[in-house]
Amino acid sequence: GAVVSQHPSWVICKSGTSVKIECRSLDFQATTMFWYRQFPKQSLMLMATSNEGSKATYEQGVEKDKFLINHASLTLSTLTVTSAHPEDSSFYICSASSGGVSNEQFFGPGTRLTVL
Amino acid sequence: QKEVEQNSGPLSVPEGAIASLNCTYSDRGSQSFFWYRQYSGKSPELIMFIYSNGDKEDGRFTAQLNKASQYVSLLIRDSQPSDSATYLCAPLGQNFVFGPGTRLSVLP
């Protein structure tokens, strides 16, 4: 199957700093990338959907000025958590889709963010 | 009504038994249906997808779809302890929507 990578896999930062997470599709071109957040023992929560070259579409309740998403190429999307606070500590997962008939999403391994 | 509903579980089955996971959805426009498996602390991985009414089999897994009833299920035959995970149902209509997941525990 298609491979999606994320970097870093684990990050610890101080409150007030910004953290950038990269999501790459390694062997296919991703027309659409998705960013999810998952708190312990809870389900996936879609944060935003991004298409290459256009602005991301954010889900209701997600602050677009706090969670900056850039999808500059068909293989790379970044999520920047600006001025991170302890409540932003979570598991952030990206997924990528190439479209096509089945249109399945392939997930990255996730990034665990801890804000002190 | 929630867009996608699943029994949160945990669903416990003995090793070797059939595990049956169910999902109902509200968007009648949904065309494709995906089942993902998520181990604790890991990201989801695709198990299988189905887009036609009826059954689709892949190894020990069988997906069943009934669009009229807006119902999709996943059967796992000969369940193994390694199947213990959370199973997420995801219909694809206008948007991709994940269900809350059902936690499956296969007891040795």
SS3 A86: helix
- Scored b (16 or more CB within 10 A) or e, B79-89 reads beeebbbbbbb
Omega of the bond leading into A8 within 30 degrees of 0 (cis): yes
pLDDT at A100 over 80: no
Do the Cβ atoms of A104 and B34 come within 8 Å?
yes
Number of neighbouring beta carbons within 10 Å of residue A110: 22
Check if the beta carbon of residue A107 is closer than 8 Å to that of residue B43.
yes
Report pLDDT for A52. 83
User: Shortest CB distance from A109 goes to which of B43, B88, B98?
Assistant: B43
Cβ of residue A21 closer than 8 Å to a chain B Cβ:
no
Please give the average per-residue pLDDT across A27-40, as a whole number.
91
Question: Considering only CB atoms, which chain A residues are within 8 Å of B92?
Answer: 103
What are the tens digits of pLDDT across the range B1-60?
668 899 888 999 999 999 999 999 988 888 889 999 999 989 999 999 898 889 999 999
Q: Is A60 on the interface with B (CB under 8 A)?
A: no
Residue A53: per-residue pLDDT:
81
Whether the per-residue pLDDT at A101 is higher than 60: the answer is no
- B60-98 pLDDT tens trace: 999 999 989 999 999 999 999 999 999 999 888 666 778
What's the average model confidence in pLDDT over A64-81?
93
Residue among B108, B63, B67 at smallest CA distance from B89:
B63
pLDDT band for position A51 (cuts 50, 70, 90): confident
Cα–Cα distance for residue pair B69/A57, rounded to 1 Å? 31
Running DSSP on this structure, what letter comes out for residue A88?
Answer: G
Which of chain B's residues have a Cβ under 8 Å away from the Cβ of A110? Answer: 42-43
Number of H helices, E strands in chain B: 0, 10
pLDDT value at position A35?
Answer: 95
Among candidates A43, A30, A37, which has minimal Cα distance to A88? A37
Helix/strand/coil percentages in chain A, nearest 5: 5, 50, 45
Are the C-beta atoms of residues A26 and A3 closer than 8 Å to each other?
yes
A99 touches chain B (CB under 8 A): no
pLDDT at B7: 87
Q: Do B46 and A104 lie within an 8 Å CB cutoff? A: yes
> What pLDDT is recorded for position A97?
87
Nearest to A44 among B34, B95, B98 (CB): B98
* CB-based contact, A93 to chain B, within 8 Å: yes
Residue-level pLDDT at A43 = 84
Q: Is A44 within 8 Å of B46 when comparing Cβ atoms?
A: no
Indicate whether A24 pLDDT > 60: yes
Phi, psi of A18 (to 5 degrees): -110, 145
Q: Residue A107 above 90 pLDDT? A: yes
Residues 6+ apart with CB under 8 A from B42: A109, A110
Q: How far is CA B47 from CA A29, A84, A112, in A?
A: 21, 34, 23
SS3 B44: coil
